[in-house]
Amino acid sequence: MNLLDHLPVLAVILPLLAAPLCVLVGRERIAWLISLTAAVASAVVAALLLRQVSNTGSLSYALGGWSPPWGIEYRVDLLGGYVLLLVTVIAALVLCYARRSIEREVIAARRVNFYAALLLVQAGLAGITVTGDAFNLFVFLEIASLASYALVSMGSDRRALSAAFNYLVMGTIGATFILIGIGFLYMMTGTLNMQDLAARLPAVADTRTVQAGFAFLTVGIGLKLALFPLHQWLPNAYAYAPSVVSVLLAATATKVAVYALIRFVFSLFGHDWAFATMKLDLVLLPLAIAGVLISSIIAVYQCDLKRLLAYSSVAQIGYMLMGIAIVSVTGLTATVLHLFNHALMKGALFMALGAVMYRIGSVQLKDMAGLGQRMPLTMAAFVISGLSLVGVPFTVGFVSKWYLVLAALEQGWWWLVAVILASSLIALIYIWRVVEVAYFQPPRPSTMPSTISSPIPLSRVEEAPLSLLLPTWVLVAANLYFGIDTSLSVGIAAAAARSLLGTELGAGL
């Protein structure tokens, strides 16, 4: 057996082993190097995996040689490989970015632990995408969640503690619901392997237990992915966490939760049962629409830009849920596409804000005045990814919107088209508020922000350092590249959507 056969487990094991190594070494710089190496290595692994999966179809890997359904099976299909690549690449970029960024935002004594926790989040998220075992998925979800509670609490603002606590309480409720749901399924079928579950569920599908399990799972995952109105933990967690953590959580954590929802609904229960019998769309669609509209409007009134982006994230998650609730190949394509595209835009936006935080120690709107001249590259990155959020042609946002609107049109749902486009225009409003302040308001010297570190006079604010700019611009470039050459992202999303909706589960590719 050569190393290539172990790729699925490598993507998880690398960061999982690197995390304790960081703590054992205990030196900040070396810990950073170790985590960066682990992250880059798992990104390479993910790329290889995706290539293999798109060439030969789904991969199955028996953990420890125990063959499924008795042992834990890792199963990578196109969708899983795609999300895994997204998670690992973002994590690698985030680690490039982290070293400079946390200099200003995390106290020195916690930095080694910070890297360890970051790696654990990555391991957990990667695990969710590769595992083929329902209980294993829960375990990985908890690894990622617990580590991210710790990361949020490391924010320099004292309010980070209450935000993390809030996140912990809500997240744990969600996790409990998921566990109860999986337990119910296990009760009825006696198996935890997803493929096995999918094969045995139809026989017991009309029992109260399975239906309750389905409900518990949906609500639990809904909490994790910040389904409106279960999103209350998210704005504070994103706003007070260190910038790096906001990038990581916004770009990957909620996306992986959406992945989990797709996995359970389409692969385990099957869309026929979930939508035709259980009427999941009747729940998802109204909540998605409410989330899209209400959160976008709330975002317009935010003065803290990280909180603004957090509300915008809740709205964007609404788009993904809309795609799911439309239940068509185009709709699911839009969801999978937006999952990828939104990670690119929000990652770039939060990174740009992190650079601003690094230089001026604040992300309040009023402190951004004049930054367009002081930090031209950072703000240009913000504007371009902001336009992507609005959905301007040649950015990824346009591609997502194109498919989502097309999916709504195919159903003849004009009101949904109106909702989608109205919320894009609201996005234009909140992005443009920032642009006007940053480019057209003269800097106000009197209001020097003084949250952390030594205050820098605004006149001396310079462009962010290269190690912050470079990862930001990699993501901005990806925003443009995948907005122009869509063959990869659309191709994979469409193929994944077809296979999820195609025949019943197990058809693979």
Where along the sequence are the contacts to other proteins (CB under 8 A)?
387, 390-394, 399, 401-402, 405-406, 409-410, 417, 421-422, 424-425, 428, 432, 436, 440, 484-487, 490, 494
Contacts of 239 (CB under 8 A, 6+ apart): 163, 246, 304, 306, 307, 310
Q: Quick one: 43 or 495, whose CB is closer to other proteins?
A: 495
Q: Quick one: 431 or 474, whose CB is closer to other proteins?
A: 431
What residue has token string 């499924």? 68
Q: How far is the CB of 454 from other proteins (least distance, A)?
A: 31
Q: Quick one: 137 or 408, whose CB is closer to other proteins?
A: 408
Q: Quick one: 349 or 405, whose CB is closer to other proteins?
A: 405
Q: Quick one: 25 or 406, whose CB is closer to other proteins?
A: 406
DSSP, res 369: T
Q: Quick one: 431 or 500, whose CB is closer to other proteins?
A: 431
> How many alpha carbons fall within 13 Å on the CB side of residue 386?
23
**What residue type is 308 in one-letter code?**
L
Rounded-to-integer distance, Cα 408 and Cα 405, Å: 5
Give the chain's radius of gyration (CA, Å): 22
User: Helix-strand-coil percent breakdown of the chain, rounded to 5?
Assistant: 80, 5, 20
Q: How far is the CB of 417 from other proteins (least distance, A)?
A: 5
Q: How far is the CB of 394 from other proteins (least distance, A)?
A: 6
Cα–Cα distances in angstroms (integers) from residue 495 to residues 245, 249, 272, 481, in the given order: 32, 27, 19, 20
Q: How far is the CB of 149 from other proteins (least distance, A)?
A: 38
Cα–Cα distances in angstroms (integers) from residue 10 to residues 4, 97, 122, 126, 280, in the given order: 9, 24, 12, 10, 35
Helices (H) and strands (E) in the chain, counts: 21, 2
Q: Quick one: 186 or 394, whose CB is closer to other proteins?
A: 394
Are 340 and 409 in contact by the 8 Å Cβ rule? The answer is no
Contacts of 484 (CB under 8 A, 6+ apart): 394
Q: How far is the CB of 436 from other proteins (least distance, A)?
A: 6
Q: How far is the CB of 402 from other proteins (least distance, A)?
A: 7
Coil, strand, or helix at residue 74?
A: strand
Q: How far is the CB of 396 from other proteins (least distance, A)?
A: 12
Q: Quick one: 93 or 434, whose CB is closer to other proteins?
A: 434
User: 456's torsion region: left (phi>0), alpha (psi -120 to 50) or beta?
Assistant: beta
Q: How far is the CB of 401 from other proteins (least distance, A)?
A: 8
